[in-house]
Amino acid sequence: RAMTAMAMSARPDLIIFDEPTTALDVTTQVNVLAAMKTAVEEFNTAAIYITHDLAVVAQMADRIKVLRYGEEVEEAETQEMLSNPKHPYTKSLWAVRSIEKPAETTEDHILAIENVTAAYGTVPVLHNVSIRVPRGKTVAVVGESGSGKSTTARVVTGLLPPSQGRVTFNGEALPPDLKSRKKDQLQRIQMIYQSADTAMNPRHTVRDIIGRPLEFYGGLRGRAKDERVADLLRMIELDESFMDRLPGELSGGQKQRICIARALAAGPELIICDEVTSALDQVVQEGILKLLLKLQKDLGVSYIFITHDIATVEAIADEIVVMWQGKVVEQGLKDMILSPPYPEYTELLLSSVPTMDPGWLAGAVEARQALDMADEVGEA
Ligand SMILES: Nc1ncnc2c1ncn2[C@@H]1O[C@H](COP(=O)(O)OP(=O)(O)OP(=O)(O)O)[C@@H](O)[C@H]1O
Ligand SMILES: [Mg+2]
């Protein structure tokens, strides 16, 4: 919002927004979108809004232009483009999130986070957090920026020992600190991060990157190791020609696939995915999500899937955990969490997810004001 105000203070004729809300969680995004839209209208400025989020486009744009490989695919009025895309590529963009996975669960839990309280130094961040992960299923953890999602992952992986509570894996309490964990305990829980760029050493080839856990956990060397790397590449739908590439020679989606292969190389039972698709466009996201689901089906691996994208959650989750200010607001089957009645915060979170309806933003802002007013009345 401050950046928009600064840009506006120069009284521009044209303002270019380049993915300005991509890093924000949905509840914050609503306010920022509304602020930008108002500013553009008040100053009567022309604007170009660049994004891969189609629902955001629907809120912000009068006209939409679709680009692919540096070329224009099509251009039309927003309403026309949304209801009647002409080009097959545009249709494919509109059709993403085609994944529909019925939610399933089991009472057999591979992981249980029990009453965990954790702090960075003296700053408390997690308060009495309990989360259970059913074996072979996916638990999505949602909540706004700073709600403690990544911190929860750090407690599970042993990077941040909790001050209270414990984590059990296959019924056995895990040593709180990474350094006290046995090799097989480390092996069974792997993590994939949002930024595939910083997660890989830029000087290591794909062969080295995937080979390292094979050697460390599996004791593989030489031919046997290379053959397994090739297997893993096939599993993530890339071929052997990728073996000798460096991370810099891969697309964002390919990098993330390599990170998935590296996690699989360890032979994990649980993979924690922290915002693994946030930096990717929607078509590539869809590919990665489908791949993760296929791997779950073939290998029986369980996922903790951290994201603030509700459409992703709808696509892949079995259970959902809603976090807010370091606490778990609720955990339950996807269908239960995503249907009313909602606790107040879940309601706010869900109502903050943009839809393809161009009138959505105005409605969301109104609902938010009503909620704020109710709060004030409540407090008074
Ligand atoms: N290394 C750190 N040192 C101190 N405080 C931290 C550290 N990492 C995170 N925090 C704080 O802990 C809180 C929870 O952060 P966390 O990273 O778990 O949030 P998150 O839910 O993953 O958010 P996001 O969606 O933005 O990734 C925040 O208030 C954050 O500022
Ligand atoms: Mg995080």
The fold adopted by the segment(s) 109-339 is Rossmann fold (3.40.50)
Q: 231-267, pLDDT tens digit by residue?
A: 999 988 899 999 999 999 998 889 999 999 999 999 9
**Both structure tokens of 11:** 């009284």
Could you tell me where the beta strands, DSSP code E, fall in 51-137?
63-68, 71-77, 109-120, 123-134
Residue 111 near residue 319, CB atoms below 8 Å:
no
The CATH number assigned to the domain with range 2-99+354-379 reads 3.40.50.300
Q: 22-78, pLDDT tens digit by residue?
A: 777 777 888 889 988 988 998 899 999 998 778 888 889 999 999 988 899 999 999
Q: Please say if the pLDDT value at position 1 is more than 80.
A: no
Per-residue pLDDT, 139: 98
Number of continuous H segments (helices) and E segments (strands) in the chain? 16, 14
Pocket of ligand 1 (CB under 6 A): 25, 120, 123, 125, 143, 145-151, 308
How many angstroms is it from 141 CA to the middle of ligand 1? 14
What is the rounded distance in angstroms from the CA atom of residue 365 to the CA atom of residue 344?
A: 16
What is the rounded distance in angstroms from the CA atom of residue 316 to the CA atom of residue 11?
A: 45
Q: 359-372, pLDDT tens digit by residue?
A: 888 888 887 777 66
Query: Between β-strands 71-77 and 172-173, what pairing exists: parallel, antiparallel or unpaired?
Result: unpaired
Q: 3-state class of 90 per DSSP?
A: helix
Instruction: Give the distance, in angstroms, between the CA of residue 47 and the centroid of all CA atoms in the same chain.
Output: 28
When pLDDT is averaged across residues 91-107 and rounded to a whole number, the result is: 79
Q: 3-state class of 107 per DSSP?
A: coil
- Whose C-alpha lies nearest to ligand 1, atom 30? 146
Residue 168 near residue 112, CB atoms below 8 Å:
yes
Q: 172-226, pLDDT tens digit by residue?
A: 999 999 999 999 999 999 999 888 878 899 999 999 999 999 999 999 999 999 9
Q: In this structure, how many other beta carbons lie within 10 angstroms of the beta carbon of residue 45?
A: 15
- Please report the atom of ligand 1 found closest to the CA of residue 25: 25
Positions of CATH 3.40.50.300 in the chain? 2-99+354-379, 109-339
- Please report the atom of ligand 1 found closest to the CA of residue 326: 14
Looking at residue 195, the DSSP 8-state letter turns out to be -
Q: Terminal CA-to-CA distance of the chain, rounded, Å?
A: 29
Which of 25, 27, 151, 152 for mutating ligand 1's site (highest number of atoms within 8 Å of CB)? 151
Per-residue pLDDT, 380: 44
Per-residue pLDDT, 65: 94
